[in-house]
Structure 1
Amino acid sequence: MSIQSALIGRLLGLLFERPFTPEENVVLQTTAVATGTMPLAAGFVGIIPALGLLEVEKDGSGPVSFTWGTAIAWSFGIAFFGVFLAVPLRKQTIIKEKLPFPSGTATAQLISVLYQHPLRKEAAPKQEARPTTEPAEEAQWLLHEEVDASLQPEQGIAAEVEARDEDSSVSVQQGWSPLVWSFAAACFITILSYFFPVVFAMPIFGLYLAREWLWYFTPSLSYVGQGIIMGFPTTVSMNLGMFVGWAILSPLAKHNGWAPGKVGDMSNGGRGWILWISLAIMTADSLVSLTPVFGEIVSHLLKSFKYDAPILGIAGVKSDEEVEPPARLIPRRWVIWGLVISVTGGTLIVWLVFGYEGIKPWATLLGFALGGAMSLLGVRALGETDLNPVSGLGKISQLFFAVLQPGNVVANIIAGGVAEAGAQQAGDLMQDFKTGHLVGASPRAQFQGQLIGSLVSIFVTTTAFILYSNAYEIPGPNFPAPTAYVWLNLARLLRSSSLPPHAGVFMAVLGGAAALSSGIKAWASHGRKPRWVKWIPSGVAFAIGMLNTPNFAIARLLGGCVELWWRRKYMRKIKAARDGEDEENEDGLGELAIVIIASGFVLGEGIGSIVNLTLRIMGFRELSCWGCAKGLCGGCP
């Protein structure tokens, strides 16, 4: 949500007498992203629901329920480790290697347009650390070479701040209209779906297919907005997985008696059966795609011996390469003490929350250590591909702890969650550090904003989760929490080594195909990437489409198609403008307009869901369940 946060920060800043500066906007969006990351980092959408699904017969332990207090304590235990871990990685990945971090760079470009603010020009990455001839205080500020010509601000570097703000107000005013109407539309439809649940569960393929095979459509504008942000290729991969899983594998398993239960049953139904194939595809793709990243890290570790002060095993960056003055950097003692306190305190808190039988303290310590190692992989993958493979890293952690504490499902899930949390937060902060580096924000201020956002989010996220779990069934029709089943089923597999009938064969075949396609893409990316590579489906997106019901993917495909149409229209427009054929039609927002609309969709549905939560807590009921297929509409019998 970094782009959306920066956009909202700029728009709302106009309500004050002194709008935010570009550097203040960077700190604002860093804090906002830190606040929004907690549901993922603390496992409120995966780990915590998974622990609530435990069964004594299958797992050796009953469900683990969280009160508001225990959820607060758990969040405190893992909320800050990844924040401190990201600081030393900034110097290697951003300052020395200058990895692109696409989302962080895109956010910086957005801020550049909104404020008419020039970005720092980055030289090509150096093979060796060499002294620079200019001190940090005299670093040049030029437009970033990678910013598209259509997005470059017209004002020169010497322009006055007042003039720059006056010009940027044109883009800001143009941004209000699409943001407001897209926000209002998504919010309205979400609230409407509360009173008429069929709005979000339309049986467009017929009641039989909706009821028996879960083929229905959710016209969620948030899903459409996410599809716009994800892009056409990813949404196509997701829908291919959905079609294979729900149009081929699920009926095949049902027809042959391999999954005799109801299709949506995660225990003995089609959804539970194809979950294993999805898990195999996701794991294979993640492991293969991480192999070249791991090789590069080993290479950097070997080269690190050339430097005097490697940090956390990463090649050190000489002080004269740093572009920020010392007063704007995070002191090393903050990082050291922060890591010591967060790891020690986190281990103690996890022990107090789950007890010695849940997970032993030494296993939690190893979880933090593994989280540090996973962060190296995740940050580098994120910097190069814009994808933080935390799902694959979490599975690696589960495999590791299946050996350390065999048969302990609770420990397997918790330790994997601890490791994943570090990689998640470190990756998010690295994207923000990239934005701050290009815009010129203080890394120390960003770091402090990250800490503040994480602290606030502990209370906001926990309170929201308790309210939602009291009002809705989680997992359930409204909030299926599919990743909870991924965590739980892998832990169960590692404990019992038992699979549903014939699932192993399909896991081997489709997992092998995913590994092969991922290997081909990794191989092709090292040279001049052929055009046909983009048509190879993404294994992770394919698996996610298979993991979720069809309604999850269809609306996102609509968003992907909108993104493709808009991008082609925009590129034709830019080409015409550059050729001098259509200069008058080039607007001030350009390619950003579709991002603003998508942001409004996502934000509007989020606010609408909070209204729905309030209505449910207050006891308001649905007005009509007309058209609903049994079991698909939340709240309807």
Structure 2
Amino acid sequence: MNLITWLRRRGVSGESVPASQSQPEFTFTAVILGLAIGCLICFTNLSLGLQSGWISMMSIQSALIGFLISRILPTPLTPQEIIVVQTTAVATGTMPLAAGFVGILPALSLLSEERDGVPPIHLTWISAIAWSCAVAYFGVFLSPPIRKQVIIEEQLTFPSGTATAQLISVLHKLPPPDTSIRQRRGYKPLSPEENTSAAGETSGSLIADNDDDESETTIVREAVQHDGWWSLSWSFVASGLMTLFAYFFPVLFAIPLFGNYLASNWLWYFTPSLSYVGQGIIMGFPTTLSMNMGMLVGWAILSPLSKLSGWAPGPVGDMSNGARGWILWTSLGIMCSDSFVSLLPVGVDYVSDMFSKSRNDYVVIDGNTTENHETETEDRLVPMKWVLVGLAFSICAGTILVWIVFGHDGIKPWATVLGFVLGGMLSIIGVRALGETDLNPVSGLGKISQLLFAWIQPGNIVANIIAGGVAEAGAQQAGDLMQDLKTGHLCHASPRAQFYGQLIGSSVSIVVTTTAFTLYNRAYVIPGPSFPAPTAYVWLSLARLLRDGQLPEKSSSFMIGFSLLFGLLSATKTFTSRRQHWVAKWIPSGVAFAIGFLNTPSFSIARLIGGVMEYTYRTRYAKDKNDIRLIVIASGFVLGEGVISIVSLVLQTFGVHAASCWGCGHGHCGGCPPA
């Protein structure tokens, strides 16, 4: 069978694959494997999110681990089953962010009755379950109609989803997915002649690429299949043992690399976490470089400046009147400015598309022009009736659950409904930004929702945070799931099977995430030394600012200045990236730069090490563009610490503490009392 015949049978030329001829997809084995991987990712993301405010979808890692495990099963999983594994795992693993466990709930626990008029809100296990149920399904039911627009009609890239599809194709010895006909600048109609030409070029290029790169791709595939388990195992064990050792000897993760004075007074110490190194590998060198640039500006320049000038008189690490709380406002300004500017052209494109009379492009199938670009049959799609009923039910049930959990004084039911509606609108913008840039700007979208609700329910901090969280949840979840749907589209997996996996993964993750968060709360102070939950302060600080309008001394000037600077940089980055210019990836990312402010230097330095490793390997040692051996090792690093964090949690719960606090005189070792 030649390549063009294979592509036509799989639906690239417009023909659909009958369900009766498709390979197994939604199977019990695939779902169970996806849930198991997703639970590991869930614990990892909850731990890392509470530490640094940053989580990872880990879609490539889920597909890779699923493939490696399937090799030892009696019947290896098909590519479509691997996609179900990946989809289920991502839906399970991203709930810590979607349900606000790393930001919203810690922010509510920081409320002060004296300052905010309401006492801190600590949800019980059952209340947290109810809150999670309220926000867990809206984004899932929102995904099918958005998929139709951004994946089928606009053919947006979704880089991570496309990369995962390429990995699955390589590992399963399939022809590379057709990724060349895509809209890089939003939706631009193609004439029938242009599309026919592009389609012809696509088939030819695939054949040529297949011939030229087959030997190198085969080497990579065999290396992953033969050495993948070994690489994943030793990296997992190394990270796990290092994490466990650091639990008993905390100084290992708080090394005063720059001296005890800088560690004690200015929070400059080093955490050589292999998980952080793995995250840096996954993030890539440009992102980690942006983060460390922010770290240097925030912690080496602005923090001492605010302290020595008397603008932040408290201890450096104090979030209320210390330098860390002072630079938070500059970070917030950068995130809002970067997110707004990067979203602006996407929003303009979307509005112009809505009013355009030529919103459908054309494909030519067997000499006939058609406007239907869907390559799946109806029995493989999610029926629109399910979508409408699911959206209505999730909004109604979510509103009732939020009202039960937080009460009428916390947030009015109509405001919660409005939060869902706003979340739906913001989801479309966020998903399009994700499809073009691989960045889902949920932090900026959350701030937009907070600004709106400060006007709708002025003075109500609880309502501001909750409604913002509801809107952010829909945007974040829809974006993450869209990457999976892009992978499924390129590899011709059933959207309905993926939808089932998303529902199951989200449902199981409600219990897993809530239980894990409850256990963490019992064993540690959150926010606290071990889990500072930096994004919680962002949510609460913006809510207070919108109510009071008061900023720390002189912080407004720096906030405005950096906002203007990164607004300009973001505009330049957006302009160059839409033209696929190489300069774009080296312009600092505003969000990553701001994350460098939020976290102490210890969180950023190790990630830069990972970013440098990724860049060095990719430019000097990688066999070809599909070489993901370093990603295998990074996955082991991240998952090793995530799994052992469960062991550490159990030890902490049962009163097993550090064996020695030697070297912790600077007072920043987790598990050891301050000196």
TM-score, normalised to structure 1's length?
Answer: 0.90
1:634 aligns with 2:670: yes
For residues 254-285 of structure 1, the C-alpha deviation after alignment (integer angstroms, 9 at most, x for no partner) is 11111111000001001000001110111111
Q: Is the 8 A contact 1:119 1:142 kept in 2?
A: no
Opposite residue 337 of structure 1, the aligned amino acid is V
Instruction: Specify the alignment match of 2:196 in structure 1.
Output: none
1:386 aligned to which of 433, 438, 446? 438
Opposite residue 272 of structure 1, the aligned amino acid is G
Instruction: Specify the alignment match of 1:188 in structure 2.
Output: 241
Could you tell me how far apart the structure 2 residues matched to 1:150 and 1:248 are? 53
2:565 aligned to which of 480, 489, 513? 513
Q: Aligned pair in 2 of structure 1 residues 332, 622: CA closer, same or farther (>3 Å)?
A: same
Instruction: Specify the alignment match of 2:149 in structure 1.
Output: 92
Opposite residue 511 of structure 1, the aligned amino acid is S
Instruction: Specify the alignment match of 2:64 in structure 1.
Output: 7
Instruction: Specify the alignment match of 1:138 in structure 2.
Output: none
Aligned counterparts, 1:607-622, within 5 A: 607-622=643-658
For residues 302-324 of structure 1, the C-alpha deviation after alignment (integer angstroms, 9 at most, x for no partner) is 127867xxxxxxxxx98732101
CA displacement at 1:347 relative to structure 2: 0.6
1:569 aligns with 2:617: no
Q: Aligned pair in 2 of structure 1 residues 3, 360: CA closer, same or farther (>3 Å)?
A: same
Could you tell me how far apart the structure 1 residues matched to 2:471 and 2:211 are? 42
Aligned counterparts, 1:515-554, within 5 A: 515-527=567-579, 529=581, 531-554=582-605
2:73 aligned to which of 1, 6, 16? 16
1:233 aligns with 2:286: yes
Instruction: Specify the alignment match of 1:584 in structure 2.
Output: none
Could you tell me how far apart the structure 2 residues matched to 1:300 and 1:592 are? 38
For residues 207-241 of structure 1, the C-alpha deviation after alignment (integer angstroms, 9 at most, x for no partner) is 11111110000001111111111111111111111
Instruction: Specify the alignment match of 2:263 in structure 1.
Output: 210
1:101 aligns with 2:161: no
Aligned counterparts, 1:269-418, within 5 A: 269-303=322-356, 320-418=372-470
CA displacement at 1:121 relative to structure 2: 2.4
1:80 aligns with 2:116: no
1:602 aligned to which of 638, 644, 659? 638
Q: What percentage of residue pairs aligned between the two structures are identical? A: 61
Could you tell me how far apart the structure 2 residues matched to 1:147 and 1:391 are? 42
CA displacement at 1:524 relative to structure 2: 2.6
Q: Aligned pair in 2 of structure 1 residues 206, 260: CA closer, same or farther (>3 Å)?
A: same
Could you tell me how far apart the structure 1 residues matched to 2:532 and 2:417 are? 31
Instruction: Specify the alignment match of 1:313 in structure 2.
Output: none
Could you tell me how far apart the structure 2 residues matched to 1:362 and 1:305 are? 37
Which secondary structure does the structure 1 equivalent of 2:94 belong to? helix
Could you tell me how far apart the structure 2 residues matched to 1:173 and 1:254 are? 55
Which secondary structure does the structure 2 equivalent of 1:202 belong to? coil
Which secondary structure does the structure 2 equivalent of 1:320 belong to? coil
CA displacement at 1:147 relative to structure 2: 11
Could you tell me how far apart the structure 2 residues matched to 1:272 and 1:16 are? 52
Q: Aligned pair in 2 of structure 1 residues 151, 405: CA closer, same or farther (>3 Å)?
A: farther
Q: Aligned pair in 2 of structure 1 residues 122, 226: CA closer, same or farther (>3 Å)?
A: closer
Could you tell me how far apart the structure 2 residues matched to 1:498 and 1:619 are? 42
CA RMSD in angstroms, aligned pairs only:
2.7
Opposite residue 113 of structure 1, the aligned amino acid is V
Q: Is the 8 A contact 1:214 1:264 kept in 2?
A: yes
Q: Aligned pair in 2 of structure 1 residues 258, 118: CA closer, same or farther (>3 Å)?
A: same
Q: Is the 8 A contact 1:72 1:462 kept in 2?
A: yes
Q: Flag structure 1 segments of 5+ consecutive residues without an equivalent.
A: 133-140, 157-163, 308-316, 575-588
Instruction: Specify the alignment match of 1:159 in structure 2.
Output: none
Moved over 4 A (4+): 125-132, 141-156, 166-170, 304-307
CA displacement at 1:153 relative to structure 2: 5.5
CA displacement at 1:15 relative to structure 2: 2.5
Opposite residue 241 of structure 2, the aligned amino acid is F
1:124 aligned to which of 181, 184, 189? 181
Opposite residue 315 of structure 2, the aligned amino acid is K
CA displacement at 1:152 relative to structure 2: 5.7
Q: Is the 8 A contact 2:138 2:395 kept in 1?
A: yes
Opposite residue 174 of structure 1, the aligned amino acid is D
For residues 88-110 of structure 1, the C-alpha deviation after alignment (integer angstroms, 9 at most, x for no partner) is 01111111211110000111111
Q: How many residues align?
A: 600
Instruction: Specify the alignment match of 1:591 in structure 2.
Output: 627
Q: Aligned pair in 2 of structure 1 residues 167, 56: CA closer, same or farther (>3 Å)?
A: closer
Could you tell me how far apart the structure 1 residues matched to 2:579 and 2:646 are? 48
CA displacement at 1:146 relative to structure 2: 12
For residues 492-542 of structure 1, the C-alpha deviation after alignment (integer angstroms, 9 at most, x for no partner) is 00010000011011111111111111112222334352x444332111111
1:35 aligned to which of 79, 82, 92? 92
Could you tell me how far apart the structure 2 residues matched to 1:391 and 1:619 are? 36
Q: Flag structure 2 segments of 5+ consecutive residues without an equivalent.
A: 1-57, 194-201, 361-368
Q: Aligned pair in 2 of structure 1 residues 128, 521: CA closer, same or farther (>3 Å)?
A: closer
Instruction: Specify the alignment match of 1:452 in structure 2.
Output: 504
